[in-house]
């Protein structure tokens, strides 16, 4: 696997850019897909947002100064793209953000690419009740098994605040699952 620093240098140099970008997409497509999927829930929407994320990365790579890890920087773009996508979707549908979240979970029952059972559907319902930040922290830690330092860079939040968010989210989800 190519070192991140080398990859960034090649991405910022004209002649090696296309090849380096292909390496970048191959390296991060799955991780970013699952990150986006856990925010927008639907596969086709995730595919759109994932492509937009990579296009944004390609167009802005020259502005990347290396102050954070490339991986965290891309997570930040993917997170922003996903949240913006949801905001635009709720506006187009003329419903509130919460109504959209509830609708997205409702749609999972008929989604051929959702193979979850009753408890996993309840988990999604519980996640839909959380504030965006808590949901993000929880899924990044619990399902994507990211380190707090990496989440901290991606979400621009201190590790202490992330730990608090994570524990609050876990308690709320557990309480929801017990009640329902």
The string of DSSP letters for 64-112 reads --SSS-HHHHHHHHHHHHHHHHHHHHHHHHT--HHHHHHHHHHHHTT-T
Rounded CA-CA distance 16/20 in Å is 6
Of 65-73, 120-128, 129-137, 152-160, the segment contacting another protein by CB under 8 A is: 120-128
Q: Does 83 bind another protein (CB under 8 A)?
A: no
- The CA dihedral of 8, 53, 146, 150, to the nearest 10 degrees, is 50
Q: Does 149 bind another protein (CB under 8 A)?
A: no
Among 15, 67, 110, 117, binds another protein (CB under 8 A): 117
Q: Does 145 bind another protein (CB under 8 A)?
A: yes
Q: Does 75 bind another protein (CB under 8 A)?
A: no
Sign of CA dihedral 53, 59, 60, 61: positive
Closer CB to another protein, residue 73 or residue 166? 166
Distances (CA, A) of 76 to 53, 100, 139: 10, 22, 15
Of 20-28, 73-81, 99-107, 128-136, the segment contacting another protein by CB under 8 A is: 20-28
Contact 162, 152 (CB under 8 A): yes
Contact footprint for another protein (CB under 8 A): 18, 21-22, 25-26, 29-30, 33-34, 37-38, 41, 43, 47, 50-51, 54-55, 58, 84, 87-88, 92, 113-117, 119-121, 123-124, 141-143, 145, 163, 166, 170, 173-174, 177-178
């Amino acid at each position: 696997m190519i070192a991140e620093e080398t990859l960034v240098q090649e991405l910022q140099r004209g002649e090696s850019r296309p090849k380096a970008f292909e390496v970048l997409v191959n390296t991060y497509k799955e991780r970013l897909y699952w990150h986006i999927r856990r925010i927008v829930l639907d596969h086709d929407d995730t595919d759109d947002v994932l492509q937009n994320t990579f296009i944004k990365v390609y167009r802005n790579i020259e502005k990347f100064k290396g102050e954070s890890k490339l991986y965290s920087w891309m997570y930040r773009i993917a997170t922003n793209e996903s949240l913006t996508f949801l905001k635009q979707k709720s506006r187009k549908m003329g419903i509130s953000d919460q109504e959209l979240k509830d609708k997205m979970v409702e749609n999972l029952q008929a989604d051929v690419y959702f193979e979850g059972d009753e408890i996993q559907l309840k988990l999604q319902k519980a996640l839909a009740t959380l504030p965006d930040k808590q949901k993000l922290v929880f899924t990044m830690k619990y399902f994507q098994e990211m380190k707090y330092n990496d989440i901290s860079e991606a979400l621009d939040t201190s590790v202490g605040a992330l730990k608090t968010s994570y524990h609050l989210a876990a308690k709320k989800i557990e309480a929801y699952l017990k009640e329902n």
